[in-house]
Structure 1
Amino acid sequence: MMPPLMASLRSSISGIRMMSQTSVALAHHSRLKPEKITCMKSDESPVFYRDHVVDKLVRVILKDGKKEIARNAVYDALEIIKRRQYKQWAKAKEDEKSTIELNPFVVANTAIRNCRPLMKLQGVTRGAVTYQVPFPIEESEAEFRAMKMMREVCRQKAKHGETHLKDILATELLAASKNEGLTIQAKQELHKTCEANRAFAHYRG
C-alpha cells in the first residue's frame, strides 16, 4: 500500500499537469504564436482627403525616392487650383458659377482622365526588323501613361526655369481638365503615330 505522503504528492503532480494542459488549450492563439504586425501603406491610411489618382500622381512624380517633396508639390498644386477656381467663381455671373468646379480633386481626376491614351506603341520584331505596332491599352496603364506624360511636360518646363513645379502642375492640370495643354497635345501626337502605324497591326499576334 502506498504511503499517504506519496499518494498526495502524486495527486498534486497530476493536478498540476491537468491545469497546465487546460490553460494551454484555453490560451488565446496570439499567446501561442506571435502575430506578424505590418505597417499600413500610405495610400491606405484613413485620411479624409485620400484620393487614388492623387496618390498615384505623387508616386509617378517623385524623384530620387523623395516622396514627401513630391507629395507637397502635388498638394500645393491642388491648393493653387482651388484658389484660381474660386477667384474665377467669384468673378463669374450667377448662371456661370454652376459650371466652375471648385473641388481640386475633381479637377485632377478629370484632367488625368482626359489625358489617358487609347493606344500605345510596342516594338515587335519580325526577322531582323523591329516594328512599332499599335496595341490597345488597359485603363490602369493608360492612367499611368497620362501621368507620365504630364510629369515629362512639367519637368521640361521646370528645366527651362519658367516657375516652380507646383505652379506648372496646377496650370497643366487645369488645362487638361478642359482638354487643353501640352499633355493633351502629347496624347494626340501618340494617337496620330498609332494611326500612321496601323498597317503593322497584324503583327500583334
Structure 2
Amino acid sequence: MTDQGMTDQSMKSRLVELLIVHVLRKGKKSLARRIVYEALKRIEERNQQSGVLMLEQAVSQVMPLVCVKARRVGGATYQVPQEVKPYTGINNALRWIVKYAKDRSGKSMAIKLAAEIWDAAHGTGGAIRKKEETHRMAEANKAFAHYR
C-alpha cells in the first residue's frame, strides 16, 4: 500500500491533506480542498513565502508536547500528564487551528483559516493559547505523573 491516498496531489504535502481532512464537513472534500488552497494562496500573497512552509511553521508552533489524561485511582480522578506522540500532536495542532479559525469573525473560512495559520506561525492566536493552556495543565498536575 502506498502513501498516494494521504499525500495532497496539488501541493505534494501530507500536512496539507491532513488539514483538508480537518476542514472537511459533510463529505464535501472538494469544498474543503478549495478552502485550504485559497487560504494557502492568501498566505503566499501576504508573505511572499510558501503557504505550505508557513503551515508547517504554524503546526510546529501549535503542536503540544504534553497533555493530561484523566486517570481514576482509588475513587479519585487525577489529571495525569503524558507526553504526546508526534502524529497525535500534529492532529491536535491541526484540529485547534481549524477550530479557532472557525471561531474567528470574518467573511469566508479561507480568510479566517489563513489568518489563524498566520497567527499560529508567528506565535499568537487561539491555537497557541490552547497549547499554552494544555502545557499549564500538565505542569500544574506534574505531581500526579507517577500514576501513568
TM normalised by structure 1 equals 0.67
Say which SS state the counterpart of residue 134 (structure 1) adopts: strand
Letter in 2 for 1:184: I
| Larger RCO of the pair (alpha carbons < 8 Å, separation 6+) | 2
> Which runs of structure 2 are paired with 1:159-198 in the superposition (5 Å)?
161-198=105-142
8 Å contact 1:77–1:166 — kept in the other structure?
yes
1:154 aligns with 2:76: no
Q: CA deviation at 1:199?
A: 1.3
Q: Which stretch shifts more, 176-185 or 137-146?
A: 176-185
Which of 52, 55, 60 is matched with 2:17 structurally?
55
User: Is the Cα contact below 8 Å between 1:114 and 1:176 reproduced in 2?
Assistant: yes
1:44 is displaced (CA, Å) by: 4.6
Q: How far apart are 1:127 and its partner, in Å?
A: 1.9
Q: Matched residues, percent identical?
A: 29
- Conservation of the 8 A alpha-carbon contact between 1:111 and 1:174: yes
Structure 1 191/128 Cα, relative in aligned 2: closer, same or farther at 3 Å? Answer: same
The amino acid across from 1:43 in the alignment is: M
Q: CA deviation at 1:42?
A: 3.7
CA distance in 1, matches of 2:114, 2:86: 24
Q: Distance in 2 between matches of 1:77 and 1:167?
A: 6
Is 1:105 aligned to residue 49 of structure 2?
no
Question: In the aligned structure 1, how far is the partner of 2:126 from the partner of 2:31?
Answer: 24
Q: Distance in 1 between matches of 2:88 and 2:81?
A: 14
User: Which runs of 5 or more structure 2 residues have no equivalent in the other structure?
Assistant: none
1:78·1:170 contact (CA, 8 Å) conserved in 2? yes
Match of 2:62 among 109, 115, 119: 115
> SS in structure 2 opposite 1:73?
helix
2:84 matched residue in structure 1: 137
Q: How much has 1:187 moved relative to structure 2? A: 0.6
The one-letter amino acid paired with 1:153 is: Y
User: Which range moved further: 112-121 or 176-185?
Assistant: 176-185
Using structure 2 for the length normalisation, give the TM-score.
0.90
Counterpart residue type for residue 109 of structure 1: E
CA–CA distance in 2 between the matches of 1:44 and 1:66?
Answer: 18
Give the RMSD, CA atoms, in angstroms.
Answer: 1.9
* Structure 1: runs of 5 or more not aligned: 1-37, 87-101
- Aligned partners of 1:50 and 1:43: how far apart in 2? 10
| CA pair 65-51 structure 1, distance change in 2 beyond 3 A | same
